[in-house]
Amino acid sequence: MAPALRWAQAALWSVVLFGWLWGMDRWLLGPDLVRGWQRTQQLADVPPELGPLATPAYLPEQLGWPPRQVQFRQAPAQAWWMELGRAEGPQLWIGSGDPPPDLPARACVADGACPVGWHALSRRVQGRGVAVVGTLPPHELRRVLDALVLGVP
């Protein structure tokens, strides 16, 4: 076999392998999703593929807006959680999907076993399951939950 033909075959095989690996990766694992938890302080950084976030139309005075941080994940399952509140004072997390590992009262959402002083409530907001977890009194937490709307103000 002529050397030029052999090297053309080698180059062709390399291109085929490159394409096969690329195609197999996208086919098996999907498009470029953000896998694992990402953290941001800007609501605008949350990928639009996650859908509109639920934001509170009502917040107690001790809690400010915008959130201190937002954590989100696209794969293996979509989820987002935002943390409101200051280092001292009441804590409030609003989110959808599995909670991130560093949510202090993660067990509240996972199996309803809240630590002392923490409460969790959830409801569907325009078809999407949304939960609030925090150290606010239950009636305040209920008010925040009921006032949630989809979309960033």
Partner 1 sequence: MSHAEWANLLMTNLLHSGIALLWLLGLRRFAGPLAPTLWADLLRVGLALPPLLLGLRALGLPQAPLPMRTLRVGHWTQAALDAGPLVVAALAALLLGTALLFAVQELRPALGAWLGARPGDAMPDQDLDRDTRQVLQWLRDRNLAPLRGRPPQALQLPRDVPVAGLHGIVQPQVLASRGLLALLDRDERLATVAHELAHWARGGNLRLLGVWLLRSTQALNPAALILFRALVEAEELACDDLAARVTGHPAALASALLKAHGQAEALQGAGPMARAQAEVLRRAELASVRGRVQRLLRAPAQEVPRPAVTASAVGLLAVILWSVG
Residues that bind partner 1 (CB under 8 A): 3, 6-7, 9-14, 17-18, 21-22, 25, 28-29, 32-33, 35-36, 75-76
Nearest distance from residue 98's CB to partner 1, in Å? 12
Cα distances (angstroms) measured from residue 21 to each of 26, 33, 42, 76: 9, 17, 35, 21
Q: Which two tokens stand for residue 86?
A: 């200051």
Rank residues 7 and 65 by Cβ distance to partner 1 and give the closer one: 7
Rank residues 3 and 112 by Cβ distance to partner 1 and give the closer one: 3
Give the Cα separation of 21 and 46 in Å (integer).
Answer: 29
Nearest distance from residue 94's CB to partner 1, in Å? 25
Longest Cα–Cα distance of the chain, Å, equals 83
**DSSP H helical ranges for the chain:** 3-29, 106-111, 138-146
Helix, coil or strand: residue 16: helix
Rank residues 35 and 86 by Cβ distance to partner 1 and give the closer one: 35
Nearest distance from residue 71's CB to partner 1, in Å? 16
Give the Cα separation of 118 and 116 in Å (integer).
Answer: 6
Rank residues 17 and 57 by Cβ distance to partner 1 and give the closer one: 17
Nearest distance from residue 72's CB to partner 1, in Å? 15
